[in-house]
Chains A and B, each alone.
Chain A
């Protein structure tokens, strides 16, 4: 299809909704002058599942599985962020052991999230090998999730007030093995791409955004840091005892695809360090808090003790007391500040729950970032922004 505007003939191209290079269901209607992009218009909402409406009809503990499906590349971060939001509303403070266990799992999730994003940048620029190679490592993290929570992708990990069980010896062993093996793989992955002439030519200067524009567009996470702004929720408003650890916030300068790649790559190294530190310094103590109105008692106790049975019944039937109030809690998700705005009227379910999804907010800048570039660069820009359909559409 062609349009005639200002004496020139432009082509309109539908990129998506299902296109192998978009890694999800996104539609972009591009206006092209030859191969050059003049303008783009996005359509989103193809996998909208009305989570905010559903959440208004679910008791608090049943909302965790909804958060799994936001950024499904790093579900533990979403799960734990939600638990912490409820804990903030209740006004309870978690023990160091819970905090450190959470850090271990959240950082493992960040590693997988970044591995997927970076290896996919490789795929879109023509290097499939690295993708297959690092996916073996991602598989190992999924085995750790399986050991901790029983699930792999949509983890539903932990409970309000901690975890349903302690870190098993097998899980610890798997984490140690993973930590020992990952650096070797990462080095090789970096050798493949980071100083590769073809890769650098394909990514440097592609899809750039300035720090100022990025802030105005509400960028957070690695995409903002690639543009040179060192905002990280873990450091700015520490949650889950992140302030006990030392780590570097890597920043870029150009805000282009290559910088986003490098920032994510460096963050993986920092996450490895964090997981190792948290595991080595894991304090003794209980893996859950004493919040009987939210934390389901162990099944054996439910069958044998009256009080546990009563609590179990009360939680499941929603006869628990929830404080009235409103909180905003945010965690550093794989893609940036993942916020939960929760308004409670004391009822069984939230009165209002809004997810601040980083991907939804920064994806708006996509047309501005690809304008003037060529079509193949638009694909790379999208994969380097790590737009996840589940997070986008909630």
Chain B
């Protein structure tokens, strides 16, 4: 399956909603507007020519300096033709909402819970959206960049030369 074929088909179906396309990295990547991400993934899975029937990975990402700082990254795999694709979508800090893909892939259930747990991204329509790896009474989302790895009030350690 050629990249150009996927690009053509996707642009034909979702022209307005594809914000960016990237062929330079190892996997063909698209940035999609957040309201249609479910439709795009559903199209990629169910269209008989696309057939991306395996959700390899789903995770969050946080770019604090961008207008839309929180992102969700999906890796899909067409197992019959061995083609991978990467779909990204970005949302705001105040309304971090993306619709769930658990209706398409059962495997998305825990991966979305993990993303919610670490980034606070709310997956609308998820059957059981609660924290999974961290304790339930935690009141912050630890993988967001503003949360330091160590207790920020510590004074006995100077990490200036070793940290980021």
Distance between A382 CB and nearest chain B CB, rounded to angstroms: 16
Distance between B119 CB and nearest chain A CB, rounded to angstroms: 11
- The answer to whether B133 touches A48 (Cβ under 8 A) is yes
Given the complex, which residues of B lie within 8 Å of A356, measured CB to CB?
56-57, 75
Inter-chain CA distance A367–B59, complex, in Å, is 23
B77-105 residues at the A interface, CB under 8 angstroms: 79, 82, 84, 86, 105
B161 within 8 A of A: yes
Given the complex, which residues of A lie within 8 Å of B133, measured CB to CB?
44-45, 48, 393-394
B4 within 8 A of A: no
Inter-chain CA distance A393–B110, complex, in Å, is 12
Inter-chain CA distance A217–B161, complex, in Å, is 44
B149 within 8 A of A: yes
Inter-chain CA distance A57–B159, complex, in Å, is 11
A317 within 8 A of B: yes
- The answer to whether A337 touches B56 (Cβ under 8 A) is yes
- The answer to whether B82 touches A236 (Cβ under 8 A) is yes
- The answer to whether A343 touches B61 (Cβ under 8 A) is yes
Contact count band on B: 35 or more
Residue among B56, B75, B110, B142 making CB contact with A360, cutoff 8 Å: B110
- Stretch in A4-12, A15-23, A174-182, A324-332 touching the partner: A324-332
- The answer to whether B25 touches A217 (Cβ under 8 A) is no
Given the complex, which residues of A lie within 8 Å of B109, measured CB to CB?
364
Inter-chain CA distance A228–B82, complex, in Å, is 18
Contact count band on A: 35 or more
Inter-chain CA distance A329–B25, complex, in Å, is 12
Given the complex, which residues of B lie within 8 Å of A48, measured CB to CB?
133-134
A221-244 residues at the B interface, CB under 8 angstroms: 229, 231, 236-237
Given the complex, which residues of A lie within 8 Å of B27, measured CB to CB?
328
Main secondary structure of the interface of B (DSSP, over half): loop
B116 within 8 A of A: no
Given the complex, which residues of B lie within 8 Å of A348, measured CB to CB?
164
Closest residue on chain B to residue A368 by CB atoms: B106
A371 within 8 A of B: no
B111 within 8 A of A: yes
Residue among A45, A88, A218, A236 making CB contact with B26, cutoff 8 Å: A88
- The answer to whether B161 touches A218 (Cβ under 8 A) is no
Closest residue on chain A to residue B159 by CB atoms: A57
A22-81 residues at the B interface, CB under 8 angstroms: 44-45, 48, 50, 52-54, 56-57
Inter-chain CA distance A339–B76, complex, in Å, is 13
Closest residue on chain A to residue B105 by CB atoms: A216
Inter-chain CA distance A363–B114, complex, in Å, is 14
B43 within 8 A of A: no
Given the complex, which residues of B lie within 8 Å of A50, measured CB to CB?
142
Inter-chain CA distance A363–B134, complex, in Å, is 17
Closest residue on chain A to residue B61 by CB atoms: A352
A171 within 8 A of B: no
Inter-chain CA distance A328–B57, complex, in Å, is 10
What are some 6 contacts across the A-B interface (CB < 8 A)? A56-B164, A57-B163, A88-B26, A217-B107, A337-B56, A362-B107
Other contacts beyond A218-B106, A237-B82, A393-B133: 13, CB < 8 A: A45-B133, A54-B149, A57-B164, A216-B106, A218-B55, A229-B79, A236-B79, A328-B27, A329-B26, A343-B61, A356-B57, A363-B110, A394-B133
